[in-house]
Amino acid sequence: MENTEFAKVFWEIAELLELKNENRFKIRAYQKAAQNIESLSENLSAVYKKGGIKELEEIPGIGEHIALKIEELIKTGKQKNHQQLLKEFPRGFIEMMRVPGIGPKTALMLRKKLKIDTADKLQTAVAKGLLKELPGFKEKKIENIKKGIALKERVKGRFLLSEADQYVTALVDQLKKLKEVEEILPAGSYRRGKETVGDIDILVTAKKSEPIMKAFALFPQVDRVLSQGPTRSSVILRNGMQADIRVVQPKEFGSAAHYFTGNKQHNILIREMAVKKGLKVSEYGVFKGTKWTAGKTEAEVFKAVGLPYIPPELREGTGEIEAARKGKLPDLIELADIRGDLQMHSKYSDGGNTIEELVEKAQELGYGYIAITDHTKSTRVAGGQTEKEIIKELAHIDRLNGKLNGFRVLKGAEVDILPDGTLDFPDSVLKVLDVVIAAVHSNFKMPREKMTRRIIKALENKYVNLLSHPTGRLIGKRDPYEVDIEDVIKAAKETGTYLEINAYPERLDLSDLHCRRAKEAGVMMSIDTDAHAAAGLEAMKYGVMTARRGWLEPKDIINTYPLAKLIKLLYAKR
């Protein structure tokens, strides 16, 4: 099982317990375990093999009770308590409950009053106007449910980049062990770093393809085989995602990589350029008439049409061809450019690790600094701190910095932006912080103009360095709140505030498009993980992928700078 599968079981247990109105702390324990499992870079089965139950208990949020359930899943593929809960509620009912705007109480009422127990039945009932008959179902509530249904339809059949990454990594690792495999490359939207991925395409070169096709079909991640041919196989993975593998000739590898990476519009533009030069570009190579002329590498394909190599993340048909022609492609940021992480949460609020453990993980990643940015008092559900409590945390950080060599823990907080645009802490507290991250965590349904004013007012505070997850979206779960992002970007420029690219896989907020707009406006950004456990710091790569899709360079990102320069940037507004 991949970590996403383990996490899914615990998310579902939490949801089902919520339906049964079970103890809130018990529900939260399962949610926390699921969240921390999702952020792990090492597979849970591998963790268990190293030291059994005791090794699992070392993971934040996993005590003996949940560790035993993980052991059961590893050994049997199922968990008894989970299976019993599923029998009480049909699978379609759980999916319906996940529609934004439908919570446990609403879902139970719909089932009791109208016998609605699936998302499809819900959609039909909404279309027929049946929900109007129920108590408490006013026009605004019904409209929110309609939006929730539309959101679910938009993401149907697509998977978070991080989930696709787990499967791609596992498949590639197993393919590399086959002696027949020479070159290997995951392609498609995954390679372009899109925030959601529809399916997985893997290219390999090999002299013999048949053993690869047979082995691929038997990989443990595979649920069923759709087709199996001499050079191509298609399977459905355990999470429902389709994965295709293609074996190509070594001289075709570059042209196949370009073709299957896409996107479609980019490929069309390249083909049109080739035609003007009397050439034909296909997945098999670059041809002059019937003569193969290039295609062993992608660089050869681009060179054949008169262009330099274009990184996969830019291949969207949105100006990269023109930029390449003019020699103006950006020098894209790399993961290795990141020197620190400016948003994470410790045990002082809702994090799973101590500050010392977060430091240890950051040092392991080669960072020179981190900022601890625990929640403030208004976000009590996330262990938000009072002014007195955070002062104690800052003293702890000071003591720790006194012991560290060549590493700095910056004092910070993720401060709530209240509905009127004021901040959760007074300036007398904010001024002693190195990093003040302002964030919207409540009143998401404000009208557009009011929400925009609310955020801009917060940016005008001289102690606010960063605006966290600026649109508030959760991919596939919650649409962005109504906000004029162009006005927010403009205000960030005018006030000298930085915008965050939140690397948490369900956020990736700013989006790639908004990253590009911010860059064009001259606004610098920060890529942060918003980690709630030490393992979560490894999600930085997803934020970097988003930044690359947004044409961002190291100079655009404040946490690519050494500490001394970063401090100047953080204090520039004051």
Query: Which secondary-structure segment (H or E) carries 222?
Result: strand 222-228
If we measure between CA atoms, which residue out of 382, 409, 384, 405 comes closest to residue 394?
409
Assign 3-state DSSP to the chain and report helix, strand, coil percentages, each to 5: 50, 15, 35
| Residue 393 confidence (pLDDT) | 97
Question: What is the topology classification, in CATH, of domain 159-248?
Answer: Beta Polymerase; domain 2 (3.30.460)
- How confident is the model over 73-87, as a mean pLDDT? 92
* Residues 381-414 pLDDT 10s: 778 999 999 999 999 999 999 999 999 999 999 9
Could you give the percent of the chain with pLDDT greater than 70? 100
pLDDT digits (tens, 9 = 90+) for 221-265: 999 999 999 999 999 999 999 999 999 999 999 999 999 999 999
Provide the pLDDT for residue 5: 92
Give domain 253-325's CATH architecture.
Answer: 2-Layer Sandwich (3.30)
In angstroms, rounded to a whole number, what is the distance separating the alpha carbons of residues 473 and 506?
Answer: 8
Q: Which residue has the higher pLDDT, 521 or 111?
A: 521
Q: pLDDT by residue (tens digit) across 316-366?
A: 999 999 999 999 999 999 999 999 999 999 999 999 899 999 999 999 999
H-helix or E-strand spanning residue 206: strand 199-206
Q: What is the pLDDT of residues 129-156, one digit of tens each?
A: 999 888 888 888 899 899 999 998 888 8
For residue 542, pLDDT beyond 80: yes
pLDDT of amino acid 376: 95
Q: Which CATH superfamily groups domain 335-571?
A: Metal-dependent hydrolases (3.20.20.140)
Residue 73: which pLDDT band, with cuts at 50, 70 and 90?
very high
pLDDT score of 47: 92
pTM for the whole thing?
A: 0.91
**Nearest residue to 454 (alpha-carbon basis) of 434, 425, 482:** 482
* pLDDT score, position 103: 83
Mean local confidence (pLDDT), 18-44: 88
Nearest to 533 by CA among 177, 79, 60: 60
C-alpha distances in Å from residue 260, one per residue of 192, 200, 207, 244, 245:
11, 10, 21, 11, 11
Average per-residue pLDDT for the chain = 94
Whether the bond between 510 and the residue before it is cis, its omega within 30 degrees of 0, is yes
Classify burial at 66, counting beta carbons within 10 Å of its beta carbon; exposed 0-12, middle 13-18, buried 19 or more: buried
Which 8-state DSSP code applies to residue 312? G
Percent of the chain with pLDDT strictly greater than 90: 84
Q: What is each CA distance from 242 to 237, 239, 507, in whole angstroms? A: 6, 9, 24
The answer to whether domain 3-155 and domain 335-571 are alike in fold is no
Q: Which residues are within 8 A (CB) of 361 and not within 5 positions of it... i.e. 6 or more apart?
A: 353, 534, 535, 537
SS3 track for 111-176: HHHHCCCCHHHHHHHHHCCHHHHCCCCCHHHHHHHHHHHHHHHHHCCCEEHHHHHHHHHHHHHHHH
Alpha-carbon distance 242 to 547, whole Å? 27
Give the E-state strand segments of 304-388 in sequence order.
Answer: 340-341, 369-375
Residue 95: band (very low, low, confident or very high) from pLDDT cuts 50, 70, 90:
confident
Lookup: tokens for 350: 């809702």
Please check the confidence at residue 91 and state whether its pLDDT lies above 80: no
Does residue 366 come out as left (phi exceeding 0), alpha (psi in the -120 to 50 range) or beta? left
- The residues, ordered by sequence, that sit 6+ positions from 480 with a Cβ below 8 Å of its Cβ are 471, 472, 473, 509
Summarised one tens digit per residue, pLDDT across range 448-465 is 999 999 999 999 999 999
| Domain regions of the chain by residue span | 3-155, 159-248, 253-325, 335-571
The superfamily CATH assigns to domain 3-155 is DNA polymerase beta, N-terminal domain-like (1.10.150.110)
* Position with higher pLDDT, 186 vs 381: 186
Is the per-residue pLDDT at 268 higher than 90? Answer: yes
pLDDT at 105: 86
Number of residues that make up the chain: 574
288 pLDDT above the threshold of 90: yes
The pLDDT score that the predictor gives to residue 154 is 87
Tokens of 43: 């597979």
Task: Say if CB 421 and CB 454 are below 8 A apart.
Answer: yes
